Chains A and B, each alone.
Chain A
Amino acid sequence: MNRTLRNTQYAILLILILAALLAIPVAAQGTNPPTDDDVNAVAKQLYCPVCENTPLDVCPTQACAQWRDLIRLKLSQGESEAEIKQYFVDNDGASVLKEPPREGLNWLAYIIPPLAILAGAAFLFGAFRRMKKPALAASAQSPEVDASADEYVSRLEAEVKKQR
């Protein structure tokens, strides 16, 4: 029984070694030079550090072409998207990112609009209620008004009847 178990263990080990050997060419394929599309996928998430409001993937300047080459180099060295973005932030500042980093004062960028919109919605709701109030107030008073009006109308009708 023990012998069978040991054989099974050897078989698994052999399979694992074979799998590892087979995986080498696949891993080698993964180190193929990055394509233009790979580079652009990263560059698209960054702004040109020099030109205003121009995404790095479409910026036509020579400087940007060199930055794209740098991205290509870093991708070929196995750096991740996040690492490459961080490299650009460290070198050129947070303005290369398409949004302010979620830290410190920058949180205001994300918090203020929803707060303002909620405040606007609350104000609108309040305005609706206020705009309805005159009607409610009027309807609350209406029984008296209506009663007197009814009394007046009935007296008037009685007068008209008498005249007839």
Chain B
Amino acid sequence: MSDTTHIQLAHGGGGQLTAELIEQVILPALGGPQKTGELTDSAVLDAPSKRLALTTDSYVVHPLEFPGGDIGKLAICGTVNDLAMAGALPTALTMALIIEEGLEIALLKRILESAGRTAAQAGAPIVTGDTKVVPRGMLDALMINTAGLGDVLAGADLGFQRVLPGDSIVLSGPLGEHGLAVMARRKGLSFSSDLLSDCTPLSQPAAALVEALGGELHFMRDPTRGGLAATLADLAGGSSHNVEIDEASIPINPTAIAAAEILGLDLLTVANEGKLVAVVSAKACDTALRVLREYQVAREAAEIGRIVGQTDTGQLPLVEMITKIGGRRIVQMPYGEELPRIC
């Protein structure tokens, strides 16, 4: 092969170059058999239990590597966390790569090694995958799709319909770190090195919550795109209950606050990749906080609000925030990407 440093179209052709890429780059990074010859058309798995969770997500992020993570780590965390929010531990993951011709192989290797490490950390083996290469210009460098199969823990009974008035809302840590770290790097802002993405697998703290709380745990969601605002708006809409949060009780990362200020963004609407929101019965709230705080990634967990009763018929359920000064304001579903402001 003429160029061994960059991805060529032939790397996706199914021939020798494809086999080389899989054997030399992909399999060592992600784990699995040594030779492509040992790969079968499908992974065959033993069903772990009767209740399975299944999810899929595609990942595109620019830049591919950002402070605190990269697209590989993100592709594992995102899917593992979607399983975790359903009360499931990951059993197996799939990973499909769509690569733009010309991508640096060293970069691909770094990204896949990061994905492999994260998958191992989350206890989620990558059991099957696919590689395609598209001509230059048809894609921004790399897109990853992962799907995850999970084993729903006994005792997990989660859903909008289980959310009740009086329930407490728990958030596992400060907001906005992922979105702001990526945006700061993208815009070349000087504080970008101080702000790390929170991208991390949440399987363990989520499973611990299920085990400790059982039926007292009513709902979980990771506030990714659209941030906490979107998650709470969904929670209000899905459960038909009003939601009330206290601004003063939301955990804070001062660097993220400063970055949001500079970019003119509302922290509540910025993406997170390593936080969870849990709705728990009020009496189980202290337990939930104690359990979460045992994990480094959730050590700043706090009760941030509560469910406040069914909305009247015909009234749209509302998310309200009691501000730091004691005022009240609405929290809305964000309506799209916010533009940088003038001053």
Q: Do A and B bind each other?
A: no
